[in-house]
Structure 1
């Protein structure tokens, strides 16, 4: 059978693609997402891929038409796509999460798909005070103060209506608990904690006290187990709702033990109202990514009974909730991730370097010494902690002026710091436009290339002059203060100007890669790496040309919303 996975690049989607690959009943998988992953990396290499917007920036009829075409030879559809951020764009979240589900369902019916499996959540359930365990018959009215919960409840209503109108399609909904894995650590930190949270400080030591909401009880499940549950639902064609969670329940003491990592950490139970106030303040100031609605949901949803999934899907959790949360915490500390934009690692050295393949034939990593020539490979390893930059720098030919080389590379690194900040902001500001996917993937590439350049400077034993990068980063932030004629909302002219600046920056970067390419032998570097990177710049510039074409047609319009396609 052929299975399509909508939203195949996130935490759950990645696990589902892997689980489907392991099922002998599944002959092929179609991954669908706005932003494409590294299709040479595991597990994404096991699927065919299509970039389809289910409703963020296209009209409903267009979304349904594209999905119907993609589903033409599909036996089952697993729908996982869900937009968690930005919290401030409630209309966008509803358009993607609730109406997007409707689009997927209608397209599946139109294409003659037999089974539709949809990602619901424990968050769809109505409040259930106390510790009574609930099965799938519990009400799905949601938690009114949580936008995520409200949208999950609305999604369930869409599925009820669809199932009544299309009895020929088996409709299955999975309601998982909190879904964690090491590979999802950086994604989860971005979505819920934010980049300012110093989780990595836990590597140096654990706190003696851990404040937690009084009475907190959590259920969790490992992403791999959730992936197996979705695969089982698609293959068996079992309809209805299924609770998916590990068998153990975590209270404040269990959570404190996990954070302690073998050392004694005492939990301090704080009234939920106080935690809510602090969380609201943190969210308003930008220190915390999640709003207080997430706390409301966590404190009020029921504990779930997972026996139906075990009996009818033949599913069993293979990891405990405690072990899953511990794995997530370790992943956050290390900055772990995977080879898709949503799951990009916080530590950029773990990310695949765009357009570069290592000597083994695998995607090269930004921090693995991919640029080092054979003469300097040992020096690269030394730079990581054995030989140090001075030893690594011995690969540079004596005819090279190290001071000039250092200044040149530091200048390019300074420019990249401003470029990374700008392209990331451009992507975030245009999440509701048809060019979001291209901008977001480009931002991820440029961020990884910046770290790669940092690594080259380090491995050559040259100074990075970090004060320059800090100044460039701050300068880019100040440049955002221009109003482009609009003070209280996004100006349609802004994207045009920003793309023009980024095109100049990308072409300047090309000059840097060309310079390193032509001097690779003198620097002990692998010339082919920079040949690949020069070619990749041309593709990046072409992407920016396409974005500019979109933006300039809207730059001075007053009759179109930003995301609305022109006639």
Structure 2
């Protein structure tokens, strides 16, 4: 059996790939995503891959052609792709989530796929005030004040219409509760809490009390690998209809407080909680909007009996254990080898420098020896080559000025801080542009390179001068206030200018790697690492050339759209 997974790199998709890999009936898997994962890392290494934008910034005919090619010879399609952010772009969310589902379903039928499995949600259900568990017959008309719920309910109607039009296709819908795993911790933080929420401090400091909205009947969750097994069971058993997927326990206020590890909570009026979330979201402090509170307070408690009986599925983890795993992952900044699941911090920063070596099945770092900082000889410094202020002073035995080198690398680290922040913002803002995938992949490379340079300076005992990076970060953020002629909408010229700025920054970074390659032997470093990074900088400049070419061809012409699908596709059916 060959299975295609659309949206295979996110929280659920990654767990589904792990489950399919362990399912004997599944002989091959095709992963489909807009942005490609690290195909050397598990579980992504066990799949074939193709990059397809199903609806964000592509003409309908082009998307369906590419999907039809991908679905040829496939026995089952699991459709998981769903856009949660940006909240502010409702037309984009609707186009990807609702119209994208219709597009995938329609194309699967045209390609002769016999089974379609779709990710619905507890959020599709209509409001319920009772604490009685509800089965899959509860109405799925959504919560009107939650855009996520509204779109999930609309997706259900799309599937109803599709099933009526294509009785030859078995349609299975899974309606999971909240999906938690440690590897999704950083993704969930970005999508719901935002980057300004210091969740990592929970590892050392516990809040004195947990605020919860009064009247919360309970929180249901499912561990991601349990959900992955449910998708695998659905593919194998080919049972039509809807299935609630959740752990057996329901978390009340006391349970939540116990998991956060202090056991105390305070109930607040729901309107106050909603107002605080509304204000925090508008101020940019919290990523989630108030609709998520509305949905949490209104959705029914689900009964998972049907999944147990007809899919032969049982949860192996409790909701409490899944939430605890997620919180630990947030403290640690956990992630996985895909862009949606990228870790909060790049770790020790060696990953990017090791890419070429990893492809050859070996491992290298910048250091030739066991400790970069050991260097060659002593000459008046300690074992790390540090002076009294923690910075290597004076000259290297071969005449290299470590003070000047440290200042040089610190200046480039300052530039890298601004550059990494700018390209990260570009990869978020231009989600509705065809160049989004390339920008996202480039942003992750640059983020890892900055961490690598930071770690290298630490290993060499060179001072980082963090105040300069802070000033650079602030300056980059202030630069965003420039309107480019538009106050309340994005100027098509902005992408042109930002591509030019980033191209200049990348070429400046090339000089760092060339300098370090030149002096690698004196520093006890591997020159080949920096040669590879220099070549990567040239490739990155090429990517930005492509982005610039795309943007400049549209920015200064009337009637040519820079963002979203082509204009002639906007008014058509999706």
TM > 0.5 fold call: yes
Using the size of structure 2 for normalisation, the TM-score is 0.93
Q: Could you tell which deviates more after superposition, 443-452 or 119-128? A: 443-452
Separation (CA, whole Å) in 2 of partners of 1:320 and 1:23: 23
Whole-angstrom CA distance in 1 between matches of 2:265 and 2:372 = 48
Distance 2:329 2:297 in 1: 25
Matches of 1:246 and 1:352, distance apart in 2: 38
**Which residue of the partner structure matches residue 572 of structure 2?**
none
Matched, 1:346 2:344: yes
Q: Distance in 2 between matches of 1:179 and 1:457?
A: 39
* Superposition deviation, residue 359 in structure 1: 6.6
SS at 1:84's partner residue? Answer: coil
Check the 8 A contact 1:353/1:364 in 2, yes or no.
Answer: no
The residue number in structure 1 matching 2:227 is 226
Q: Any conservation in 2 of the 1:389–1:459 contact (CA below 8 Å)? A: no
Corresponding residue of 1:283:
281
1:528-567 correspondence to structure 2 within 5 Å = 528-562=528-562, 563-565=564-566
1:383-422 to 2 correspondences below 5 Å: 390=386, 397-399=396-398, 400-422=400-422
Classify 1:162/1:351 alpha carbon distance in 2 versus 1 (closer, same or farther; 3 Å). Answer: farther
Question: 1:476 Cα shift?
Answer: 1.6
- The whole-number CA distance in structure 2 between the counterparts of 1:54 and 1:433 is 13
Deviation at 1:360, TM superposition (A): 7.2
Deviations 1:96-135 (A, max 9, x none): 0000000100110010001100000000000111211000
Deviation at 1:423, TM superposition (A): 1.0
Distance 1:183 1:377 in 2: 31
The corresponding residue for 1:273 is 271
What is the aligned residue count?
A: 555
Between the aligned partners of 2:326 and 2:226, the Cα distance in structure 1 is: 14
TM-score for both structures, normalised by structure 1: 0.94
- Asked if 2 retains the 8 angstrom alpha-carbon contact of 1:115 and 1:170, the reply is yes
Structure-2 change in CA distance of 1:361 and 1:499 (3 Å): closer
User: Residues 151-206 of structure 1, C-alpha deviation per residue, up to 9 Å, x if partnerless?
Assistant: 00000000000000001110000000000100000000000011111111111121
Cα distance in 1, alignment partners of residues 525 and 2 from structure 2: 45
3-state SS of the aligned residue for 2:555? coil
Q: What residue in structure 2 maps to residue 446 of structure 1?
A: 446
Superposed CA RMSD in Å reads 2.2
CA distance in 2, matches of 1:147, 1:415: 39
Q: CA deviation at 1:393?
A: 8.4
- After superposition, give the CA deviation of every residue in 1:425-470 in whole Å (9 maximum; x if it has no partner): 2222211110111111111111111111111111111110111111
SS at match of 2:49: strand
Cα distance in 2 for partners of 1:443, 1:360 equals 20
Unpaired segments ≥5 residues, structure 2: 376-382, 569-574
Query: Aligned with 2:212: secondary structure?
Result: strand
Is the 8 Å Cα contact of residues 356 and 532 (structure 1) preserved in structure 2?
Answer: no
1:172 aligns with 2:172: yes
TM-aligned CA distance change 1:208 to 1:566, over 3 Å: closer
Question: Which stretch has the larger CA shift, 228-237 or 1-10?
Answer: 228-237
Q: Decide which moves more: 179-188 or 524-533.
A: 524-533
Once the two structures are superposed, what CA deviation does each residue of 1:43-81 show, in whole Å capped at 9, x if it has no partner?
110111111000001122221111011101111000000
What's 1:301 paired with? 299
SS of 1:553 mapped into structure 2: helix
In the other structure, the counterpart of 1:57 is 57
Separation (CA, whole Å) in 1 of partners of 2:357 and 2:56: 40
Residue 292 of structure 1 deviates from its aligned partner by 0.6
Match of 1:384 in 2: none
Query: How many angstroms does 1:208 deviate by?
Result: 2.3
Q: Secondary structure at the match of 2:26?
A: coil
- The equivalent residue for 1:82 is 82
CA distance in 1, matches of 2:93, 2:299: 21
| Matches of 1:539 and 1:361, distance apart in 2 | 17
Q: Distance in 1 between matches of 2:307 and 2:12?
A: 17
Asked if the contact 2:247/2:317 (under 8 Å) is kept, the reply is yes
Q: Secondary structure at the match of 1:133?
A: coil
| 1:370 maps onto 2:365 in alignment | yes
SS of aligned partner of 2:210: strand
Q: Which residue of 1 aligns with 2:379?
A: none
**Is the partner of 1:242 in helix, strand or coil?**
strand
Tell me the distance in 1 between the aligned counterparts of 2:290 and 2:535. Answer: 46
* C-alpha distance in 2 between matches for 1:245 and 1:148: 19
Aligned partner of 1:118 in structure 2 is 118
Structure-2 change in CA distance of 1:201 and 1:420 (3 Å): same
Deviation of 1:486 (Å): 2.4
Tell me the distance in 1 between the aligned counterparts of 2:288 and 2:361.
Answer: 33
Q: Distance in 2 between matches of 1:393 and 1:226?
A: 51
Listed one character per residue, the Cα deviations across residues 537-566 of structure 1 (whole Å, up to 9, x for unaligned) are: 222112111111110101112213332448
Which shifted more, 154-163 or 505-514? 505-514
Q: Is the 8 A contact 1:222 1:324 kept in 2?
A: yes
